[in-house]
């Protein structure tokens, strides 16, 4: 690859609280995964997570203001407050240090944690995730003096469930005729995979706390119903839909053959060792008719439109692009469904 792969940095003069906060949250969550199998690595992750959070909180600013080139592709629409709360919630889960719970509670209103009512969870908008994680802390009986604030977080988590299951009334997420949650035309499945993951996680938290249901305006939603709905979205993606099409490349009998992906759509070096310049890849291989020469096995594409229609054409990037943030939450919910009724307790507190 000969094109520029310039790296960028954040520092006190060029802050990026959203990006640093998200990284802190990821490291804190990962420290839980490795706590037993590799405690040294888990401690290192936690050390850097704390440092990253402190940096994000002290030097506040949006990452796309410090790195303007990112704004064209990945603009931070929700700002950085959700990522700061997200990081604090995960750090409390990982450390049980009350200062992180204090941060989550004391900034609940000012940073929008108890203000945002949303049915969307994404790489940009973390509020629903914060609300579900805060609700879990409450359900675990770990809220202490902050129970009232965490209860307000939980109300927003309940809104996410009710709106997703069509039981909210106002704010219900639209569905396609085939039953798929539909948020927007461009890469809708990113919101379906992340939403299904979050629904499955909240279902388990409710079940573990022996909660009968989320009480929605249009009727209750039990943990089993929430999990079943998450599964229905997964099943749709994997082929149980009006087109009988799997939107995971390589899975099932019918799946996308023209994923909007440079590596998949240009012939491999093993097949043709001649050099392919950047512009040549776009001019020659991108408009080429026919299936991609390389199978992007396992990728989740953008998916169908609001009427369950799908055009398998790599030029149709809104439906055929295959970003990593489509797959990442999907792996989580697949792991949960594969476990069936068994909850994996290999991680402390079932986190």
Catalytic residue among 146, 183, 260, 261: 260
260 is catalytic: yes
Residue 175 phi, psi dihedral angles, 5° rounding:
-125, 150
Cα separations in angstroms, 56 against 64, 80, 182? 14, 9, 33
Nearest to 16 by CA among 56, 53, 68: 56
Residues 6+ apart with CB under 8 A from 87: 21, 22, 24, 25, 28, 49, 52, 53, 56
The β-bridge partners of 219 are 216
Element (H, E) at 194: helix 189-208
Rg, Å, the chain Cα set? 21
* Separation CA 322–CA 51 (nearest Å): 33
Give φ, ψ of 39 to 5 degrees: -60, -30
Residue written as token pair 């204090």: 102
**What's the number of CA atoms in the CB half-sphere (13 Å) around residue 308?**
16
Cα dihedral 266→269→271→275 (10° resolution):
80
Output the six-digit token pair for 218: 């249009």
The two structure tokens encoding residue 255: 């799946």
Q: Write out the catalytic residue numbers.
A: 260
């Amino acid at each position: 690859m000969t094109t520029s792969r310039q790296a960028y940095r954040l520092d006190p003069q060029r802050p990026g609280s959203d990006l640093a906060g998200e990284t802190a949250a990821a490291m804190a969550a990962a420290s839980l995964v490795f706590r037993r199998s590799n405690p040294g690595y888990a401690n290192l992750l936690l050390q850097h997570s704390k440092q990253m959070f402190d940096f994000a909180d002290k030097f506040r600013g949006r990452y796309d203001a410090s790195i303007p080139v990112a704004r064209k592709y990945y603009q931070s629409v929700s700002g950085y407050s959700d990522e700061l709360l997200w990081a604090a919630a995960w750090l409390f889960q990982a450390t049980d240090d009350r200062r992180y719970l204090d941060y989550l509670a004391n900034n609940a209103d000012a940073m929008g944690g108890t203000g945002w009512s949303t049915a969307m969870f994404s790489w940009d908008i973390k509020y629903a995730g914060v609300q579900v994680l805060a609700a879990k802390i409450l359900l675990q009986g770990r809220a202490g003096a902050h129970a009232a604030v965490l209860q307000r977080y939980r109300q927003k988590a309940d809104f996410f469930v009710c709106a997703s299951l069509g039981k909210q009334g106002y704010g219900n997420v639209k569905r396609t005729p085939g039953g798929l949650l539909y948020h927007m035309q461009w890469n809708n499945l990113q919101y379906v995979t992340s939403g299904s993951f979050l629904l499955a996680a909240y279902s388990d938290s409710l079940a573990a706390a022996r909660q009968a249901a989320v009480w929605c305006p249009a009727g209750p939603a039990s943990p089993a119903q929430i999990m079943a709905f998450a599964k229905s979205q997964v099943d749709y993606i994997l082929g149980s839909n009006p087109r009988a099409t799997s939107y995971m490349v390589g899975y099932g009998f019918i799946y996308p053959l023209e994923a909007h992906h440079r590596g998949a759509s240009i012939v491999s070096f093993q097949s043709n060792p001649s050099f392919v310049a950047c512009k040549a890849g776009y001019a020659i291989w991108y408009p080429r008719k026919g299936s991609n020469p390389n199978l992007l096995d396992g990728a989740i594409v953008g998916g169908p439109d609001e009427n369950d229609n799908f055009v398998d054409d790599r030029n149709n990037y809104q439906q055929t692009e295959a970003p990593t943030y489509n797959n990442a939450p999907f792996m989580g919910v697949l792991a949960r469904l594969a476990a069936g009724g068994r909850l994996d307790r290999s991680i402390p507190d079932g986190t």
